[in-house]
Amino acid sequence: MCGITGVFDTRGSRELDRVALQRMNDSQFHRGPDEGSLHIEPGVGFGHRRLSIIDVATGQQPLFNEDGSVVVVFNGEIYNYQELIPELQAAGHRFHTKSDTEVIVHAWEQWGEACVERFRGMFAFVLWDRNRQTLFMARDRMGVKPLYYALLDDGTLLFGSELKSLLAYRGPHGSALKRDIDPLAIEEYFALGYVAEPRTVFRQARKLPPAHALAIRRGEPVGEPREYWDVNFTLDNPIGQEDACAELQRQLQESVRLRMISEVPLGAFLSGGVDSSAVVATMAGLSDGPVNTCSIAFDDPKFNESEFAAMVASRYATNHRVETVKSDDFDLIDTLARLYDEPYADSSAIPTYRVCQLARKHVTVALSGDGGDETFGGYRRYRLHLMEERMRSALPAGIRQPLFGWLGRVYPKADWAPRVFRAKTTFEGMSRTAVEAYFHSVSILRGPMRARLFSPALKRELAGYSAQEVFDFHAGRARTEDPLALIQYLDLKTYLVGDINTKVDRASMAHSLEVREPLMDHKLIEWLATLPSSMKVRGQEGKFLLKKAMEPQLPDDVLYRPKMGFSVPLARWFRGPLKQRVRDAVLGERLASTGWFDRPCLQHLVEAHQSGASDYSAPLWTLLMFEAFLRNVVDDASAPAIGDMHASVALA
């Protein structure tokens, strides 16, 4: 696990500024504190920060092929590298290290752009082939590892694991990444809580989408990335339940085994939920000694599930470590804004940051259960969506849309009521198409609220754009009519990448911790996509197959209890210890100076929430983090000094 960055002259072979490249590399010190190296040749500069995991002795980067004509910088792990080495050696390639990184350069020589199709893992890499005068970059299938890039006005292309490395660049004649905010990114952020791929918050920069590669030949225009993989929900596997459970256990064992290859201390996150517990149980069956596990406990019982983690830890005699976090752990707001570089509104970033901080005290690599909800069908919203879909299909649109549209408008928003009586969202969803309804259900600020929040000036800049278009784009490529498969596909393309993977990557790398994701193995996902949806959601039970497969290994109290999630008490914070801070941020000068927000709407959100009339904690947190982003990223035009970023985010 590392940080990569670099500069490429797309037009020629101009001499590069070593100091500028060093500044970019140093801005990501936290991603790889073990080593840092540069490679510079005419028109090309690569930087690498290393967190040593595999081939600690000889796996340094940038790494070259035999004659030095191909050089690569790489972040992540190629889990099947040991299988590829003999095949490449048989083809005549000579290896000088035992690292997975060297597999990339030889695979490029052997298979060209198709090399990415042979890799099983989480990765983002960029290589330069001097003989072909080609720069090639690629990102893993599920978007576990990030990769940003930007083409400047003078033809300079920048890339990096984090946006901060691009912002640190200062080239000749004032060449730099412009901090002009993309208004479409604002719409996406306030709808989704993140800026969706391939967009970034800055107009000039882009994210390379998951399962995409981009080849740039010097002297030619920079084209669009090419997709090399996609998941296809065929749902046509006739396998029975018993055989499916056995096959799932086999697939889990293979995925976990591949991710346990390490030359440094290894462990796992154990939240007490189904996904992390399944990973730990599988690890225990593959380990000679006890598994290292860690979890966070909260002092508020409403948010604490540590007793279930302890239950699994006891069953498998793990080396279990727990730290209690106060429910008022809100001191990370500015730290998170600097860490994520873009506005990011998932408040579970706070406990995720803390559990990574705890894990790094004992291990360098940790396996997680991330991706289980999306791949196995675990979210409560999936079951609600399927219920709505049955109702949608039973009523003609000519009746359904006006009837439920009217009910959605007149029904009161009852935040205080039990869930069963909160029908407003269901009524609103019933008046929409399936994709529109799902987008509506997952939006932090729904369409009517964004319409009230955004100023006339911002609406003019948006020119009618809605973040709904992100979902429409992916839905048009889903190749399935199955209601559950469709929304799983949407989550795999949006929420999993933009929210979950972003959260875990930044939180873990802030502490120089590598997190691996066995439930996001693309081979496992391809197999799950062949199974009928009834094996994922059956009645009111989500993750049906995973739970059945794990019944011999996990107690029912872990498998069949209500899902709790990794949440924090925002509503109470904003009426208590953060009351003045949220008021100052939301109603303060920095947001007002943008001209993007309606002042009376901001005032209403604060007053109604703090009076207890409504629960606007999610919109207020979204605004609070946007204001922190403006102060900590947009207003800070100076690049971080060497080592400053590590001091500010690691172990804060």
| CB-CB contact of 650 with 30 (8 Å) | yes
What's the rounded Cα separation, in Å, for the pair 433 and 430?
A: 8
What's the rounded Cα separation, in Å, for the pair 652 and 649?
A: 6
DSSP 305: -
Q: Which amino acid type is present at position 103?
A: V
What's the rounded Cα separation, in Å, for the pair 23 and 524?
A: 40
The three-class DSSP label of residue 14 is coil
What's the rounded Cα separation, in Å, for the pair 608 and 629?
A: 25
**What is the sign of the dihedral through the CA atoms of 392, 395, 401 and 406?**
negative
How far, CA to CA in Å, does 93 sit from each of 68, 83, 187? Answer: 13, 14, 49
DSSP 452: H
What's the rounded Cα separation, in Å, for the pair 617 and 445?
A: 11
Encode 485-505: b = buried (16+ Cβ within 10 Å), e = exposed: bbbbbbbbbbbbbbbbbbbbb
What's the rounded Cα separation, in Å, for the pair 344 and 623?
A: 10
Q: Which amino acid type is present at position 635?
A: D
CB atoms within 10 A of CB 80: 16
CB atoms within 10 A of CB 275: 23
CB-based contacts of 529: which residues, under 8 Å, 6+ apart? Answer: 231, 232, 233, 234, 235, 485
What's the rounded Cα separation, in Å, for the pair 210 and 8?
A: 22
How far, CA to CA in Å, does 551 sit from each of 239, 277, 285, 379, 541? Answer: 19, 11, 15, 20, 14
How many helices and strands in the chain, by DSSP H and E?
30, 17
The catalytic residue among 2, 115, 294, 356 is: 2
**417 sits in which H/E element:** none
Residue 601 annotated to the active site? no
Active site residues: 2
